[in-house]
Amino acid sequence: MIIQKIKEFLGIARKGTAKEIIINVEPLEDRVALLEGGVLEEFSIERDSDRNISGNIYKGRVHNIEPALKALFIDIGVEKNAFLHYWDAMPAALDNGVEQIERGGKKKAKKITQNDIPKLYPPGSDIIVQVTKGPIGTKGARITTNVSLAGRFLVLTPFTDTFGISRKIEDPQERQRLRKILNELDVPDGMGVIMRTAGEDMKARYFVRDLAILLKQWEAIEQEMNKGAAPRILLEEPDLVERTVRDFLTDEIDRVVIDDLETCDRVKGLVREISKRSEKLITWHSDPVPVFEKYNVNKQIDSAFRRQVWLKSGAYLVIDETEALVAIDVNTGRNKGGSDTDNTIFNTNLEAAEEAARQLRLRNMGGIIIIDFIDMKSRKDQQQVLKHFKDNLKRDKAKTHVLPISPLGLLEMTRQRVQESISRALYMECPHCKGRGTVKSPESMSVEVQREINRIMAKHPDVHELRVIVHPTVLDRLRKEDEQLLVDLERRHQGKMAFRSDASFHYEEFKVLNSQTEQELT
């Protein structure tokens, strides 16, 4: 009852709303948007210049071992050596998102410990690895020896005989049905499979077909292993369009619209292997109006990626992304509510919780995330906001870990960071503020210029004529408001100053020159 009221308040009872995938293909980049009822819910972008290597499989070579870090550095043929921690070099246990299924009758391999890693992979030896996290900033790629191949309904683990089912499939009867199918799959010895969330309600033949495709893919990779020396790539993760087909094209999708005919035909060919029925959902956008304009995606992207994100109620979020963490601040804004302040705060936090979860997906923000909700007196209200936030995170494909709301009203969480966030891909550091978001005021710059002139004239008593070059805005301040201060400065040092503006200067940049020699004074 409470959840239904929450949905009614937020206007998010979206049963029956159309789900559409819009794909825009251009010479320099591909963009994919997932719309629900016309509202942007997922957004991805990929450029040829910075193609993400996450998911790629390589035949690498051990460059060196760092026992203090418990890590190996592997040459995989990219600019920086990849980082392999000891625990990523051991056969993996399933994460919390997957329930392990025992299939009896198979002898378990000898357990490998961290102490065995340096002996197994000495410097110069070859090693098969997969990128789990692409290079971010100055850090190299993160890799693992636990290679996996993702299909539509299954994930094949060629080096680990582990079987599991996604915990996102919650219905007990469905899980029992899938266990039966899993036990009947003909998986080669030493390999394992995990059933993905997309496999829910799928018939057994879809899993059999998916497994056959993955085994054929692995066979091709094994052939590549023996063809050349390391480092070399064995499998390149599909491009954005193919990954979209694999990960998002479910029975819930009503339509896929693509604005490039060649790509449209390619997608139809990919879908045909999985489901001929789904092929009918794919259409070519031949309208002269750009596809992202037609479906109002561009405007939604622009509004979603602003620092300040407005909510329907008049409240807003302020989102700041730093190197260390992402901070999301919730503000009531124009949403003053009525006489019931507690209820207004509760409803605002509910709306903010949903939008915050959406923003994490849209912007692909990862790492440590802090959400500063408006303080709620009631512990019950806090629990409901937390539950609503977690419910909205369920659709997020990245792994998340959420802690309870603290007494200060802060929600702390982590979100899997696989690659750079969308904002870092779209935007560059501002050349004026250098990422601070602010520059010094004209008054501050005037103070700095006068202080520097005073220092230089005291240091060089033999120099009596100076030429000062500043940004035009700073010069305007000096002439209009601080002229008398400059006259006093000249009188004090018995010197003469000439000021000139240069529009090419950074706002905070200035130079003090010797007028006679034109040399900069320091």
Strands (E) located in 178-324: 192-195, 232-235, 255-258, 282-284, 308-310, 316-321
Residues near 100 by beta carbon (within 8 Å), at least 6 away in sequence: 93, 94, 162, 163, 164
Class of domain 442-514: alpha beta
Over residues 291-328, the pLDDT tens digits come to 999 999 998 888 878 889 999 989 999 999 887 789 99
Residue 142 pairs in a beta bridge with 83, 133
Q: How many CA atoms lie within 13 A of 438 on its CB side?
A: 4
pLDDT in tens, the chain (522 residues): 444 443 444 443 344 478 899 999 998 889 999 999 899 988 988 887 666 788 899 999 999 999 988 999 999 988 889 999 998 888 765 555 666 676 655 555 567 778 888 888 999 999 999 998 888 767 788 999 999 998 888 999 998 888 899 888 888 999 999 999 999 999 998 899 999 988 888 889 889 989 999 999 999 999 988 888 889 999 988 888 888 887 777 767 889 999 999 999 999 988 887 667 778 889 999 999 999 999 999 988 888 788 899 999 899 999 998 877 899 999 988 776 666 788 889 999 999 999 999 999 888 888 899 999 999 888 999 999 999 999 999 888 888 999 999 888 899 999 987 666 777 767 777 777 777 778 889 899 999 999 999 898 888 888 889 999 999 999 999 999 998 998 888 888 888 999 999 999 988 899 999 888 888 888
Say what the pLDDT of residue 109 is: 56
Domain boundaries, the chain: 17-48+242-298, 53-236, 305-426, 442-514
CA distances from 403 to 357, 368, 372, 383, 411 (A): 14, 11, 13, 11, 7
**pLDDT digits 0-9 by tens, 106-165:** 555 567 778 888 888 999 999 999 998 888 767 788 999 999 998 888 999 998 888 899
Instruction: Give, to the nearest 10 degrees, the angle between helix 442-459 and helix 472-481.
Output: 80
Q: Is 255 exposed, middle or buried (0-12, 13-18, 19+ CB in 10 A)?
A: middle
Q: Nearest 10 degrees: CA dihedral of 126, 127, 133, 136?
A: -20
- The 3 state secondary structure assigned to 116-174 is HHHHHCCCCCEEEEEEEECCECCECCEEECCCCEECCCEEEECCCCCEEEECCCCCHHH
Q: Quick one: three-class SS letters along 5-57?
A: HHHHHHCCCCCCCCEEEEEEECCCEEEEEEEECCEEEEEEEEEHHHCCCCCCE
pLDDT in tens, 475-507: 999 999 998 998 888 888 888 999 999 999 988
Round to whole Å and give the CA distance between 176 and 174.
Answer: 5
Q: Name the token pair of 104.
A: 């009896």
What is the fold of 17-48+242-298?
Nucleotidyltransferase; domain 5 (3.30.420)
Q: What is the predicted pLDDT for the residue at 1?
A: 40
Assigned architecture for domain 53-236: Beta Barrel (2.40)
What is the rounded distance in angstroms from the CA atom of residue 220 to the CA atom of residue 243? 19
Give me the phi and psi of 45, to 5 degrees please. Answer: -140, 140
The secondary structure of 337-397 as a DSSP string is: -SS-HHHHHHHHHHHHHHHHHHHHHHHT--EEEEEEPPP-S-HHHHHHHHHHHHHHHTT-S
pLDDT one-digit tens code per residue, 411-427: 999 998 766 677 776 77
Furthest-apart CA pair in the chain: how many Å?
97
Q: For the range 295-304, what are the long-range contacts, defined as Cβ-Cβ under 8 Å and sequence gap of 24 or more?
A: 295/20, 295/22, 295/33, 295/35, 295/38, 295/257, 296/38, 297/22, 297/24, 297/33, 297/35, 297/40, 300/39, 300/40, 301/33, 301/40, 301/43, 304/40, 304/43, 304/359, 304/362, 304/363
Supply φ then ψ for residue 216, to 5 degrees. Answer: -65, -40
CB-based contacts of 176, cutoff 8 Å, min separation 6: none
DSSP H or E run through 75: strand 71-75
CB atoms within 10 A of CB 235: 17
CB atoms within 10 A of CB 177: 16
Is the alpha carbon torsion for 275, 281, 286, 288 positive or negative?
negative
